Amino acid sequence: MAAAVSGCYQDLFAAGDGLAPDTEPSSSSTSTSTGEVMPTSSAGSGVQTVTGPVDTTSTTLPAPDTTSDVPEQNTPPKIEMFEAKPSALHEAGTTQLFLEASEDVVKVRLSRNGVEFVELTPDDFPYTYEVLSAKYNADTIDVVVEDAEGLTASAGTELKVLLPNAGVQKCLFEDKTAAASSISALVYTEDAIVAAGVRDDGSGVKATIWKLDPDHCEVVLPGWPKTMGDWAEDMDLASLPSGAAALAVDEVGNLALGINLIKDAKPQRYVAFLTKDGARLWEKLGKFGEEVAGVAITPKAVVAVGWVRTSENPVRTDAMIWQHLNSGTSVWPQTLRAPFTDDEFDHDKQNVWSEWARAVLYEPTTDLLYVVGERELRASDANVYGRAFVARYVSAGGQFGKPWTSSGAAIPHDGANAAEFCGVDFLLAGWARDVIPGATPLPLTMKLNLGDFGLGDSPDSYFAEPLQSAQLHGISCDREGKLVNAATRTVGFMDAQVFAYEHLDGPRTWYQKGGPGNDTARALDCDERGFCGWGGARTIDGKLVAVVRVHHP
């Protein structure tokens, strides 16, 4: 799931396309078989005809030979039944393919639109056929079965697949009843779309969690949204202005929340761990000057990342990592500040340069935490640059290997706001900016080679989107491996920009290109089926209100 990142509490977004109509035609199948059949041979009758005088002495003729060297007949295999249930799909999903064939079948090949896509055996049925996007649109699925002799039979079954094109809107949620609201973090689960941010119902801005129906996101699930007043033990805390900046959901649905409170114009970090129903398991209040931007859940703890202020005027910060055990016990706060490695030009002994940890991911197979963000770095040319960084930690605490800092070789300034694992790829999303006067940030995607992580200076791939004055705030990938990005562009007003592509330098499919008034995209995640939803805010009737929009893959 995509790492949630913090965003300002003013956002917005635009509407989209309609749903494709449902169809459910009846299924049918036809079959043919091919194979050369050998005829069975038989001997003659052995009748004899004689003319002239008849010899009364009888002669007994030998019986005909009924044996033959001709092999037994080899008939092609048979398909008794081949069908799909359901026999129609109008959005990404699965259908079951059922096959009954003769016992001599050893191979089964399936094809769509005349192109074979998988070879199976009879034991693989019923077979779960995944339909991921409009590329799978077809009227039938064909099967060819083959026996050990190479003889075959074929059949087809009706399977009406008519999916919308990538990026077409599946559903849209707009928080029209709020005085103001916005979403900063989002996780798309099987049971719900969980979103977190800020909401003002007329009594002031409060950190808020929404749960939306995963198939009809315009429907808010019963009992939601919830604010701190629904779970906090200290109602004085719950009454403070607050905003949720980060969200994580574990395998049983428990929720980890990173919230920033404001008291006397100063930020204060607050982390809560809730049940899937929103009941408090524990809560932890940080120090004044601490801000949280990302959270992750490990098997034994909740880990929060962000920064702490080291100076008020000017504001300077050090990146921070806080770990809280599932019991609520705080174990280790760790500071991440210059120098990250001993070979850095400036060791920043006076601590004048700032660092911000903006997101954290937990990778269970290695039991490692990936902390990403942005730092100020004084390079050997004596100039100070903004640079993206990644630092790894074992989940029990302690840094793993050396942190990685972008070299700025392609574009001098860059930073990371979000991160995601897509297959074997580790991706960063953020911004890049040139040093020339008046340069504005460009949306940036980087793919890091984890095999060389911490050793090389450059990522495997580095692509700055030619979209001026914009930053990426969310990144994820669908089932086909398409990368989907959520960005906000600021050019006198704010515009939500959401787009997908199969390759970093390939063509873009635009899901969202702004709308009338201010709108933003602050968070994004894709579910197991490939649907991708993003959250932010949009202007409706002069109000900034929270929005979630889900798109077909």
Ordered DSSP codes for 505-535 = TS--EEEEE--SS-EEEEEEEE-TTS-EEEE
Residue 454: strand, helix, or coil:
coil
pLDDT by residue, tens only, the chain of 553 residues: 444 444 433 332 333 333 333 333 334 444 444 444 333 333 333 333 333 444 444 444 455 555 555 556 789 999 999 999 999 999 999 999 999 999 999 999 999 999 999 999 999 999 999 999 999 999 999 999 999 999 999 999 999 999 999 999 999 999 999 999 999 999 999 999 999 999 999 999 999 999 999 999 999 999 999 999 999 999 999 999 999 999 999 999 999 999 999 999 999 999 999 999 999 999 999 999 999 999 999 999 999 999 999 999 999 999 999 999 988 888 889 999 999 999 999 999 999 999 999 999 999 999 999 999 999 999 999 999 999 999 999 998 889 989 999 999 889 999 999 999 998 889 999 999 999 988 999 999 998 877 655 434 456 677 888 889 999 999 999 999 999 999 999 988 999 999 999 888 788 999 999 877 899 999 999 999 999 999 999 999 999 999 999 999 9
Peptide bond into 339 cis (omega under 30): yes
pLDDT at 262: 97
| CB burial of residue 515 (10 Å; 0-12, 13-18, 19+) | middle
- Give yes or no for a contact between 302 and 286, defined as CB atoms under 8 angstroms apart: no
CA distance 320 to 303: 10
Residue type for position 240: L
Q: What is the pLDDT of residue 464?
A: 84
The span from the CA of 374 to the CA of 406, in Å, is: 10
Q: Answer for the pair 98, 82: CB distance below 8 angstroms, yes or no.
A: yes
Closest CA to 224 of 195, 183, 262: 195
CA separation (Å) from 256 to 15, 410, 536?
A: 30, 36, 19
Contacts of 103 (CB under 8 A, 6+ apart): none
Nearest Cα to 431, choosing from 417, 448, 412? 417
* Residue closest to 522 by CA, chosen among 248, 204, 185, 296: 185
Q: What's the rounded Cα separation, in Å, for the pair 477 and 480?
A: 8
DSSP one-letter string for 398-442: SEEEEEEE---SSSSEEEEEEEEEETTEEEEEEEEE-SSTT---E
User: Distance between CA 361 and CA 346 in Å, rounded?
Assistant: 29
Q: How does strand 138-147 pair with strand 105-112? A: antiparallel
User: In whole angstroms, what is the distance from residue 363 CA to residue 366 CA?
Assistant: 6
Residue 230 three-state SS = helix
Give the number of other Cβ atoms within 10 Å of residue 196's Cβ: 28
Distance between CA 224 and CA 218 in Å, rounded? 13
Determine the pLDDT at residue 378.
95
**What residue has token string 């809280």?**
324
**Closest Cα to residue 385, out of 349, 431, 336, 417?**
431
pLDDT of residue 454: 47
Identity of the residue numbered 517: G
